[in-house]
Amino acid sequence: MAPEQCDQRDLLSFSQLEELVKQFEKVLLPHGIHIESGPPLEEICIEILELENRRQRLIPHRPHSDVRNLLRPALGLIDLVRRVVRLATHPDFGNLLPHLRLMNRGTVAQNVHAPADRTSDKIFELFMRLICIEAGRSRVGQEKSTCG
CB within 8 Å of 19: residues ≥ 6 apart = none
What is the Cα–Cα distance from 122 to 85, expressed in whole angstroms?
18
pLDDT of residue 95: 94
Q: CA nearest 83: which of 39, 123, 142?
A: 123
Regarding pTM above 0.85, the answer is: no
- The torsion angles phi and psi of 34, rounded to 5 degrees, stand at -115, 150
Q: CA nearest 127: which of 89, 87, 91?
A: 87
Instruction: Fill in the DSSP letter of residue 114.
Output: -
123 exposure class (CB count in 10 Å sphere: 0-12, 13-18, 19+): buried
CB distance 93 to 126 below 8 Å: no
What is the Cα–Cα distance from 44 to 28, expressed in whole angstroms?
16
The residue ranges of the chain whose pLDDT is under 70 are 1-4, 6-10, 138-148
CB distance 47 to 73 below 8 Å: yes
What is the Cα–Cα distance from 131 to 73, expressed in whole angstroms?
20
Q: Which amino acid is at 5?
A: Q
**CA dist 1 → 16, 25, 63, 72, 111 (Å):** 22, 33, 27, 20, 22
